[in-house]
C-alpha cells in the first residue's frame, strides 16, 4: 500500500502552514513498519529567503521477500500567511514523487489554526496528486491535531485520504529531546485501500540546525 505524496513534520501526512525558521535546515528520518514491508525515509529541507522551504529526499521500501524499491521526493512550500497564537496560517506546496523513471506531481494547500496559549494546533489540507499507473488525479484531504500535554511532549493524530476507498488514520506522541532542535516521535495507525486494511507503526527523528 503506497504512502501518499504529502508530508508534514513526521509522522503526519497532513501538512502544516509552517516552514523551518529562517537560516535553518532540518533533517527528518523515519521508518514505517507494516505486515509485509518496512519503509525507510530521509527528508532534508532548508528555509530559502524566509518564507520558502525546499525539500529533497527519498524512501527505500524493504519487503518480506527481500526485494526492495526506491522513491524520490522533491517539494517547495511557500508560506502565505504566518501562523500566530490565536490565529490562522496559510501555505501552498508543490512537488513530485519519483518512482523509477516516472514523476508524479502534486499540489497541496495547508491551513493551520493555533490556540492563544499555543498548546493546540489544528491542520486542514486540500490538494491533488497524479494517480500512479492510471490517468487523472486524486483529490487529497487531511485533518490533523497536535495537542501539548507536557512541556516537551505532544499528542498527534490525523486522518488523511485521497478518496473514500483510500485513507489512513494514526495517532501517537511527539517528544522534544532538545526544544525546537531535536525531536522523536512514534505512532500507530490503520491504512485502507480498496478492500484491504492493514496496521502500521512508525518511529521518527527530526533534527533542526542552523544552515552552514
Please give the C-alpha separations between residue 82 and each of 20, 86, 97, 126, in angstroms, as whole numbers: 12, 12, 27, 18
Q: What is the domain extent for residue 139?
A: 24-210
Question: Is position 2 within any domain?
Answer: no
Question: Is position 115 within any domain?
Answer: yes
Number of domains in the chain: 1
Question: Is position 123 within any domain?
Answer: yes
Q: What angle do CA 90, 94, 100 make, to 5 degrees?
A: 150
Q: What are 34's three cell numbers?
A: 507494516
In this structure, what CATH number is given to the domain that contains residue 104? Answer: 2.40.160.40
Question: Is position 5 within any domain?
Answer: no
Question: Is position 7 within any domain?
Answer: no
Question: Is position 29 within any domain?
Answer: yes
Element (H or E) spanning 202, and its range? strand 196-210
Question: Is position 19 within any domain?
Answer: no
Tens digit of pLDDT per residue, the chain (212 long)?
344 444 455 678 899 999 999 999 999 998 888 766 778 889 999 999 999 999 999 888 776 555 556 788 899 999 999 999 999 999 999 999 887 777 889 999 999 999 999 999 999 999 999 877 667 788 999 999 999 999 999 999 999 998 778 899 999 999 999 999 999 999 999 988 877 788 999 999 999 999 98
What pTM, to 2 d.p., does this model score? 0.88
Question: Is position 121 within any domain?
Answer: yes
Amino acid at each position: 500500500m503506497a504512502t501518499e505524496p504529502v508530508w508534514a513534520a513526521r509522522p503526519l501526512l497532513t501538512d502544516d502552514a509552517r516552514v523551518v525558521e529562517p537560516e535553518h535546515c532540518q533533517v527528518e528520518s523515519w521508518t514505517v513498519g507494516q505486515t509485509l514491508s518496512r519503509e525507510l525515509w530521509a527528508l532534508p529541507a532548508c528555509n530559502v529567503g524566509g518564507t520558502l522551504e525546499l525539500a529533497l529526499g527519498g524512501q527505500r521500501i524493504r519487503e518480506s521477500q527481500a526485494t526492495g524499491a526506491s522513491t524520490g521526493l522533491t517539494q517547495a512550500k511557500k508560506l502565505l500567511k504566518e501562523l500566530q497564537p490565536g490565529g490562522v496560517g496559510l501555505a501552498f506546496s508543490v512537488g513530485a514523487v519519483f518512482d523509477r523513471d516516472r514523476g508524479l506531481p502534486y499540489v497541496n494547500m495547508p491551513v493551520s489554526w493555533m490556540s492563544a496559549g499555543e498548546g493546540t494546533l489544528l491542520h486542514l489540507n486540500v490538494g491533488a496528486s497524479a494517480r500512479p499507473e492510471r490517468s487523472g488525479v486524486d483529490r487529497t484531504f487531511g485533518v490533523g491535531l497536535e495537542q501539548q500535554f507536557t512541556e516537551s511532549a505532544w499528542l498527534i493524530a490525523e486522518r488523511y485520504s485521497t478518496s473514500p476507498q483510500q485513507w489512513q488514520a494514526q495517532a501517537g506522541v511527539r517528544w522534544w529531546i532538545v526544544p525546537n532542535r531535536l525531536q522523536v516521535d512514534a505512532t500507530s495507525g490503520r491504512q485502507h485501500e480498496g478492500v484491504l486494511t492493514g496496521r502500521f507503526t512508525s518511529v521518527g527523528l527530526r533534527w533542526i540546525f542552523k544552515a552552514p
